[in-house]
Structure 1
Amino acid sequence: MSAAELTDAQDRRAPAGAAPVGPGRLPWRREAVAMLVGFAVLALLPFVFTDSYSRHVLIMVFIYAVVASNWDLSLGYGGVFNFGHIALFGIGVYAYSLLTKLAGMDPWIAMAAGGVSAVVAAVAVTIPILRLKGIYIILVTFGFAQLVMQVIISQSEYTGGTQGLVRIPTLYVFDHNMVRDAKFAYFYIALGLLVLSTVFLRAFVRSRAGISIVALRDNEEYAVSRGISLVRQRLITLAASAFFTGVAGAFYAAYQRNASVEVFGMSLATIILSMVLLGGTGTIYGAIIAAFVLTVFSEAMADFGAWRPMITAVLILVVMLAYPGGIFGMLKSATGVFSRRWSPPS
C-alpha cells in the first residue's frame, strides 16, 4: 500500500483535526523521552571533552547535522531533488555577515534574519520548479546555487568577492567571554540550535503537512486526486527545510568569524549529501547520526592525507550496499533482532 492510500485509510480512523498515526511509528511520548535522553547525553560531552579541539569538532558536527537533517526533509520526505539546499546555508552565512558587519545589526537578530533570508530564497527557487520533475529540478536548483555564488563574487565591494569577509562580529551571552572559555558557550548554542531544529522537523513530519508530502512522494497522482495540492506542499516543504539551514549558516559565520564563497562549493554539498544518504533518507535522525559518524571518522583519519576522502567513500559504499536504508536502517534492524532475542516466550 502506498503512503497516499495509507494516509487515506488512516484519515478515516483519526479524530477530526488530529494527524493520523502510522503503523510501526514510535508513539510521540516515547520518541520525546528518547530525544530528551539523547540530547541530555550530548549536553554532558563538554565535561568529558574539555579541550578546544574536541569541542570544535562537536560544534561542526551539530552544524552539519542541522543542515543535513533539514535537507532530508525536502529530499527524503518530500522527494524533491533540491541541489540548491547548500545555497540556503551560504545565504545564511552572508546574510549574517553583511547585516552585522555592514549594517551593524545585533548578532542574535542577524542570526534569525539569516534563517528568514534562506526561507525567502527557498520560496524564490521553488516557483520555477513547482511543475517540474526529476532532472529538471536538479538542474534548476543547482543553477540557482551557482547564480547566488556568482552574485556574491560580482558584488565584491560589499561581499569581499573571492576573498570573502573576515572579522565578522560574533554572538554574545551577557558579559561571558566566549573567546577564552574553550568553546564552552559555542557548544551549547550549537546544541540548542540542533535541538530546536530536530524538534521542529519531527513535529513537522508527524503533522498532516508531513504526511501529505510523503503521500505526494510515493504516489503523486493518487495524492493529488485526494485533494492534496502539489504546488502548496512543495512550497511548504522547501520553505520549512530552509529556516534552520539559514540559521545554521548564520551561526557558522558567527563561530568562524569569516565568510567565503567556498560554502557554495561542491565539496561541502557532497559532504552534507553523503550524510543524508549514509544516515538513511526519510528519517531525520539518520542524517544527524551520520553527521557524527562522518565528521568524527574524518577527523580521526586526519593523518591519512589524500587517502582520507577515499577511505570515507569506501565506508559509505559498504554501508549503503549492506544496508540501503543507511545507518538508521541498520540500527533499526539491530534493535529488532535484539528485541526478538530478549523478548519472553509467549
Structure 2
Amino acid sequence: MTRRPTPLQATFSKPKVTISAALVLLAALVPFIYPSTYGTGVLVTMLIFTVLNLSWNFVLGIAGVWNFGQLAMFAVGGYGGGLLIIHASLPPWLALLAGGIGGTLLAVLLALPTLRLFGIYTSLLTFAAAQVVQLVIQNDSSGTTGGALGLPTVKGLFESLDPLWATRAWYWLVLAIVVVVCAAIALLARSPLGLALRTLRDSAAYGSARGIDPRGHRVLAFAISGFVAGVAGALYTVYNGSISPTVMGLTPMSIYVTMIVIGGLGSITGPIVGTALVTAIQQALIDHPGTQLTVLGVVLIAIVVFVPRGIAFEAGRVRDRVVRWMNEEEEVPAGPASPEGRLVAGREGT
C-alpha cells in the first residue's frame, strides 16, 4: 500500500522545490541584470506589498473571512515599529518583530467581535475599523503619529552602504521574507488548521457539524495574517524612513484587492503574480497616472471573465504538467523487460 504523503512532503516535493528554487535564484539575480537604484527600489516596494497581500490572501482566500481591515494591521505595524525606533531607540531589526506583534494584537481585537457576524456585515465592520484607525492616526493632535504628514524620518537598515548596494541588500532581505512567508502559508494551507479553515470557508454548517470551532480557528487565522501584515508595515516604514495615513486609503485598498484577485484568490502564489503584474502596469503608465486605474479595471474584468480563478491557477496547471513530466522521467520500470516478467511484476505489486 502506498503511504499518503505528509503535508511537508506534499508541499516540498522534489519537483516543486526544484522549480521554486530556480525561480527564487532567478529573482535574486534581478538586481544584477537591471543595475538601477530606482528599478531595484520599485521591486523592494513591490515585495513589501507582496508580503501584505500574502497575509491578506490567507484570511480572505484560504480562511474565507471577508476582512477589509488588513491595512489597519499594516499601519499599526508600520507606526508601531517606527515609533519604537524614534522614542525607544529600538534597533530596526527588532522593530520588524514589534510591528508583527502590534499587527497580531489588533487582528485579535478586531476578530473577536467581527466573527460574530457573517458575509457583508463582516466586510462592513472590518472596513469601518480600518477607517477608524486611519482617522485616529490622521487626527492625532498630540503629534505622536505626525498627523496627516506622517512620522518623521525613521532610522533604517544598511545605511553604511552606498545607495545601490543598500537597495540591493533591501531587495534580498524582503525577497527572503517573501519566500519564508510563502512557504509557511503553503504549509499552513495543507495542515489540519488549513483543512479546517477551508472546510469552514466552503460550508460553515458542515464544519461545525464535524466538530470544528469556527471562532477559534478564524481568530487564529486573523492572528497569523495580522502578524505578517504588521511585519510588512514595519518593513515599509523602515525602508521608506517614514509612513503616513495615505497607506490606508480606499484607493490603495482597492489596488491591493485587485492584485490578489488577478493573481488568484486563495492561491498560494496568487498574490505574488498579481502584485508583480499590477506593479508592472503601474510602472508602464507612470507618466499617465490618470489612466492607471482604468487599465487595472479593464485587466480585472478580463481576468474575472476569462480566468476567474486567477493567473496563478493557470500557471499552476502548467507547473503540474511539468512536475508530472519530471516524475515520469525519474520512474524506473520494475522487473524484467519480457512480457512474462511484466506480468509477474504486476502481480507482485498488486
Q: Deviations over 1:9-37 (max 9, x none)?
A: xxxx969xx6599xxx7664433333222
Q: Distance between the aligned counterparts of 1:120 and 1:178, measured in 2?
A: 37
Instruction: Give how far 1:271 is off.
Output: 1.2
2:189 paired with 1:205:
yes
2:295 paired with 1:315:
no
Task: Select which of 130, 148, 155 maps to 1:169.
Answer: 155
Q: Partner of 1:302: helix, strand, or coil? A: coil
Task: Select which of 172, 189, 193 maps to 2:177.
Answer: 193
User: Which residue of structure 1 aligns with residue 127 of structure 2?
Assistant: 142
Q: Deviations over 1:115-173 (max 9, x none)?
A: 01000100000000222100110111111111111221233421111111121111248
Counting only pairs closer than 5 Å after superposition, residues 51-130 of structure 1 correspond to structure 2 as 51-130=36-115
Q: 1:185 to 1:20 in 2, by over 3 A?
A: closer
User: How many residue pairs are counted as aligned between the two chains?
Assistant: 325
The alignment-based identity, stated in percent, is: 31
User: Which residue of structure 1 aligns with residue 198 of structure 2?
Assistant: 214
Q: 1:14 to 1:184 in 2, by over 3 A?
A: closer
Where structure 2 has 5 or more consecutive residues not aligned to the other structure, the ranges are 330-350
Q: Distance between the aligned counterparts of 1:32 and 1:339, measured in 2?
A: 10
- Higher alpha-carbon Rg: 2
Q: Distance between the aligned counterparts of 2:323 and 2:24, measured in 1?
A: 24
TM-score w.r.t. the length of structure 2 is 0.86
Q: Distance between the aligned counterparts of 1:111 and 1:341, measured in 2?
A: 41
Q: Deviations over 1:228-272 (max 9, x none)?
A: 110111011111111121111101101111110011111211111
2:165 paired with 1:181:
yes
Q: 1:114 to 1:337 in 2, by over 3 A?
A: closer
Runs in 1 of length 4+ with deviation above 6 angstroms?
A: 336-344
Task: Select which of 277, 301, 309 maps to 1:325.
Answer: 309
Q: Distance between the aligned counterparts of 1:172 and 1:244, measured in 2?
A: 22
Structure 1 window deviating more from structure 2 (226-235 vs 300-309): it is 300-309
TM-score w.r.t. the length of structure 1 is 0.87
Where structure 1 has 5 or more consecutive residues not aligned to the other structure, the ranges are 1-12
Q: Say whether the 8 Å CA contact 2:37–2:163 is kept in structure 1.
A: no
Q: Distance between the aligned counterparts of 2:65 and 2:157, measured in 1?
A: 34
Q: Which amino acid aligns with 2:111?
A: T
User: Which residue of structure 2 aligns with residue 250 of structure 1?
Assistant: 234
Higher relative contact order (CA 8 A, sep 6+): 1
Q: Distance between the aligned counterparts of 1:321 and 1:205, measured in 2?
A: 27
2:224 paired with 1:240:
yes
Q: Distance between the aligned counterparts of 2:60 and 2:291, measured in 1?
A: 29
2:253 paired with 1:269:
yes
Q: Partner of 1:82: helix, strand, or coil? A: coil
Q: Distance between the aligned counterparts of 1:226 and 1:27, measured in 2?
A: 29
Q: Distance between the aligned counterparts of 2:262 and 2:155, measured in 1?
A: 35
Q: Distance between the aligned counterparts of 1:265 and 1:75, measured in 2?
A: 19
Structure 1 window deviating more from structure 2 (28-37 vs 69-78): it is 28-37
Q: Partner of 2:287: helix, strand, or coil? A: helix
Aligned-residue CA RMSD in angstroms? 2.5
Q: Deviations over 1:211-243 (max 9, x none)?
A: 110011111111111111101110111111111
User: Which residue of structure 1 aligns with residue 337 of structure 2?
Assistant: none
